[in-house]
Structure 1
Amino acid sequence: MYLLSKTKLYLTLFCLHLTFSFTVKAEQQPNILLIISDDAGYHDFGFHGSKTMKTPNLDAFAKQGILFKQAYVTAAVCGPSRAGLFTGKYQQKFGFEENNVPGYMSESGLTGNEMGLPLSELTVADHLRQLGYSTGLIGKWHLGDHDKYHPMRRGFDHFYGFRTGSRSYYAYDENELNSRQNERMERGFKGYKEHQGYLTDALVEETSQFISRSVHTKQPFFAVLSLTAVHAPMQAKPEDLAPFPDLTGTRKILAAMNLNMDQQLGLLFDKLEQLNIADNTLVVFVNDNGGPTDQNYANNYPLSGTKANHLEGGIRVPMLIRWPAKLPANTRFEYPVSTLDLMPTFLSVAGANLSEFTHLDGVNLLPYLTDNAQNKTRSRPHKTLYWKKENRAAIRYMDWKLLRFPDRPAELYNIAKDEAEQINLANQHPTIVKQLYKKLFEWELTLERPLWQLKREFEGAAMRRMDNFRDHQAD
């Protein structure tokens, strides 16, 4: 009897120790909030110089944290960009070619609902959940419509949103839903119910509730607010149009949608303060790709290009990060970074051993960000970055950028001196063109064959789009 009681005592003490250790760990682990806007223009924020757009909450947020002057995504369209972000790997390495799923695909590969983020790939949510985080995705998924690709089978404990790439900002009626099955609002796994009111408002409110529940249970959270704003369809609340009397047409609607997004994010930032967790919550705001000027009248000034091409306006995006407990405020980070870096950064702050993640293509940004304010000469996180969509590709090595096209000679730019990509230096520097061409090809040799291919006709449309919307003017 004594031995049994003693064993029970040891077991009780051991359980208490585990509980205490987990509680301490949870208290030490920062919360992580990732906010992804959709199709926003590079210039369409006050913190990037816009005089037309009204984004006071994000402008204030930028002053509270770090503004990245050269933040890149891995793809110039929505789905592949997310595939790179959530895996920390160039998505072409697992066959996720730079095309949205599903899409206008040829019959030579996967089509329809079979297209999606390969099940062989673990997401940042998978890893953070293993580290004790409550994980939630609210909003747009766009990494596969089939049940096997569902967010709750890819590391997320909670999902409220829709599986495909875009949808109405207002609820569909039953007749509309019959032809828009993958655009239905879904809670959990196959729990369908259309939202009330305006979609951006509903997604932010859901994120606020998810965060509140996590705080109540004293569990660190990884919340992804994957907005559709300001992606088409161009739909704004009437009251948000009024502050822009001098604008007309689609540009006015975009400004109103942008304003609404900013207002709602202000409410979410206020919620972090109210819950007394703002200081120890790492918050990232980033856009998924360049603004599609021909669709929503986004302005990517001073960059050339738009969504769907590899000019700077298609792949360089607004990005902010704030973590008051650890990172400096009112700071600009000048060197190139990539959304590939978000996964290793998140894993690092969560307490993971990054030596177990050497297969990732991104880097932990924390050493660069914490030292940046004191050491302006610190080496850049990346010397080389790559992009590829079938025959089209780009490489940036230090400040040189080479673009490869299917219908014209390669172009070469010095981004440090010409971020608008106006002066093609390919003829003046043939040796650099040759070196970068070879370096790009060597990277391509490490990639998997694409699991799907876009119909060739759309590649021609992409080139015409690039030529028609290459330049932007300040507002």
Structure 2
Amino acid sequence: MIEINRSSILRHFFGCLMLTVCTASAVAAEQPSILFILSDDAGYGDFGFQGSKEFRTPNLDKLAKESVKFEQAYTTAAVCGPSRAGLLTGKYQQRFGFEENNVPGYMSFSGRTGNEMGLPLEQKTIANYLKERGYSTGLFGKWHQGDALQYHPMNRGFDKFVGFRSGARSYYEMSNEEQTAEPEKRLERGIGQFEEPTKYLTDLLADETIAFMTENKSTPFFAYLSFNAVHTPMQARPEHLKLYPNLTGKRQTLAAMTHAMDLAIARVLKSLQDLGLDKNTIVVYTNDNGGPSDTNHSNNFPLSGSKANHLEGGIRVPMLIRWPNVLQANSTYPYPVSFLDFVPTFVDLAGGDADAINGLDGVNLIPYLTGEKTSRPHKTLFWKKENRGAVRDGDWKLLRFPDRPAELYNIAQDQSELNNLANQYPDRVKAMYQQLFNWELTLERPLWQLRREYEGKAMKRMDKYKQTKESMSQ
């Protein structure tokens, strides 16, 4: 008969318990926090680190020197709502019908009103995935994934929300009349607690992000700082306007708004350092789509096109990723990457398995950035909005239009898309048309669609840039 030693059993039990706790703590300590900073409608060339001589962005320029800078970072759409849907889910948003901006005034095939249009509820977000891995999650600023309560950020994986549900709003306090007319633009804290800002909104969003990081400094967090800067309305702090006396009109206002955002980002990064979290926090800065040069006078040089079209100026954006001691500072990454890549990258870094998630279209970027993988993250990327579309295969890019012949460019040799090669390579045009068509067969029908007058404006914008390109090439 075996004699039971109660003392030994207790020692063994508590030893296993301590080992489990220590192991869990070690895993938590290895999970990097994530600070994801997204600006809105910024021009590709409107930052010092992107070559601007007009705008001063010293803090983002400093971040660029500490980061990997991406030479070819792409959004999944040329407008705000669909672009963010692709970012949040890691899937081409057309797969679940989020093809157009969701705003009041658009028509829905299912009869839904603007307030009922949003990110389909069966789609999980990056906040959902990270929350499952023990992360605290917070969103500060613009949501634009549905105005109705069922689409609210705190019903989509975020623990904390201070921002607004719609696609744009004032940078200052809205009047009672404005709040009544457009309730989806009100500044909201949590769910249903509305309180208008008492300071410039760019500054307030930075304050809230800092408070969230401070509250969660002992656990891994995902802080999504979703600026409405530099989206319209064009509203700048007067003291910042004075810093750009050589500029006028909207261009001066845009410079001042960009300046305010740069200062706000500096405060957030300084807080991260003061909290001792900067070494184990991944910092991402990027922008949601190309700058709308006609509405905020942004500059996408050297790219052609702008927000709402599939030229490079509509879908290629600045992007920086900083991760000390893991990614090489002050380096560049040359190959195309996509907003699709954030979900798999963050899930894997949080200790999850992105390969086990059904339907993701992105990849974990870290092995590519460290040199472990030397191939391209993506051989082929697609874009679509109604009957307009684009496909990039290797260095070749095809643009499909409803009212004119397709255009073909070699992006490696012609990033400004000035030399249309479609007539020289008809077989390639045909093959890439087929690629785009085959991809479209995998997509859902759009859940809603632009009214015709909005579509007409988008096509006029495309015509304008076609004329600009023709004059540049002469």
Q: Give the TM bin, normalised by the shorter chain.
A: over 0.9
Which secondary structure state, in structure 1, belongs to the residue aligned with residue 168 of structure 2?
A: coil
Deviation at 1:107, TM superposition (A): 4.7
Q: How far is the alpha carbon of 1:103 from its aligned partner?
A: 4.1
Please tell me whether residue 191 in structure 1 is matched to residue 187 in structure 2: no
> 2:453 maps to what in 1?
457
Pick from 60, 63, 76 the counterpart of residue 61 of structure 1: 63
Moved more, 184-193 or 296-305: 184-193
Question: How far apart are the structure 2 equivalents of 1:7 and 1:115?
Answer: 59
Structure 1 counterpart of 2:212 = 210
- Confirm or deny that 1:390 pairs with 2:394: no
Determine the C-alpha separation between the residues in 2 that align with 1:12 and 1:408: 74
1:431 to 424, 427, 430: 427
Within 5 Å, which residues of 2 pair with 1:33-432?
33-97=35-99, 99-109=100-110, 110-215=112-217, 218-357=218-357, 359-371=359-371, 378-432=374-428
Structure 1 residue 355, shift from structure 2 partner: 2.6
- What SS is found at the alignment partner of 2:35? strand
The question of whether the paired residues in 2 share the 8 Å contact of 1:384 and 1:397 is answered with yes
1:227 partner letter: F
Distance 1:14 1:174, change over 3 A: farther
1:149-196 residue CA offsets vs partner (Å, 9 max, x unmatched): 000010101111010001000011323211121111111111111121
CA distance in structure 1 between the aligned counterparts of 2:29 and 2:296, rounded to whole angstroms: 43
Moved more, 348-357 or 193-202: 348-357
Amino acid at match of 1:399: D
Partner of 1:448: 444
Distance 1:260 1:443, change over 3 A: same
SS at match of 2:446: coil
Deviates most, 176-185 or 42-51: 176-185
Cα distance in 2, alignment partners of residues 193 and 53 from structure 1: 32
Judge conservation of contact 2:290–2:316 (CA < 8 Å) in 1. yes
Q: Classify 1:140/1:5 alpha carbon distance in 2 versus 1 (closer, same or farther; 3 Å).
A: farther
- Structure 1, unpaired ranges of 5+: none
Is the 8 Å Cα contact of residues 136 and 223 (structure 1) preserved in structure 2? yes
- What CA distance in whole angstroms lies between the structure 2 residues aligned with 1:18 and 1:199? 44
Q: CA deviation at 1:458?
A: 2.4
Q: Give, in whole Å, the separation in 2 of the partners of 1:354 and 1:175.
A: 46
| Counterpart residue type for residue 48 of structure 2 | G
Bigger shift: residues 273-282 or 79-88:
273-282
- One-letter amino acid of the structure 2 residue matched with residue 422 of structure 1: L
Partners of 1:6 and 1:182 in 2: how far apart? 63
Superposed CA deviations along residues 71-112 of structure 1, whole A, max 9, x for unmatched, are 000000000000000000000001111x11124323533332
What's the CA shift string for 1:195-236, capped at 9, x where partnerless?
Answer: 211000000010001001100xx1100010000000000000
Deviation of 1:357 (Å): 2.3
Structure 1 letter corresponding to 2:76: T
Q: Closer, same or farther in 2 for the Cα pair 1:176/1:208, shift >3 Å?
A: same
Rounded Cα–Cα distance in structure 2 between residues aligned with 1:355 and 1:78: 27
Distance 1:87 1:95 in 2: 13
Question: What TM-score does the superposition give when structure 1 sets the normalisation length?
Answer: 0.94
- Contact kept, 8 Å, 2:108 with 2:447, in 1: the verdict is no
Deviation at 1:5, TM superposition (A): 9.9
**Quick check: 459-468 or 300-309, which moved more?**
459-468
Deviations 1:15-67 (CA, angstroms, capped at 9, x unpaired): 54443333222211111010000000000001110000000000111010110
Task: Measure the CA separation in 2 of the matches of 1:7 and 1:157.
Answer: 41
Post-superposition Cα deviations, 1:358-411, rounded to whole Å, max 9, x if no partner, equal 521000000110118xx9xx2211110000000000000001100011111111
1:313 partner letter: G
1:6 to 1:115, Cα distance in 2 relative to 1, 3 A: farther
> Which residue identity does 2:103 align to in structure 1?
P
CA offsets 1:106-142 (integer angstroms, 9 cap, x no match): 3533332221000010011101000010000110000
- TM-score normalised to structure 2 length: 0.94
CA contact (8 A) 1:111 1:452 kept: no
Q: CA RMSD for the aligned pairs?
A: 1.9
Question: Does structure 2 retain, via aligned residues, the 8 Å contact 1:294–1:469?
Answer: no
Mapped partners of 1:164, 1:358: distance in 2: 29
Residue deviations 1:414-464, cap 9 Å, x none? 111111111111111100000000010000000011111112332222111
Asked if the contact 1:293–1:469 (Cα under 8 Å) also holds between the matched residues in 2, the reply is: no
Q: Give the number of aligned pairs.
A: 465
Distance 1:172 1:10, change over 3 A: farther
Q: Distance in 2 between matches of 1:157 and 1:21?
A: 25
Structure 1 residues 389 and 17, CA, compared in 2 at 3 Å: closer, same or farther? same
Q: State the percentage of identical aligned residues.
A: 57
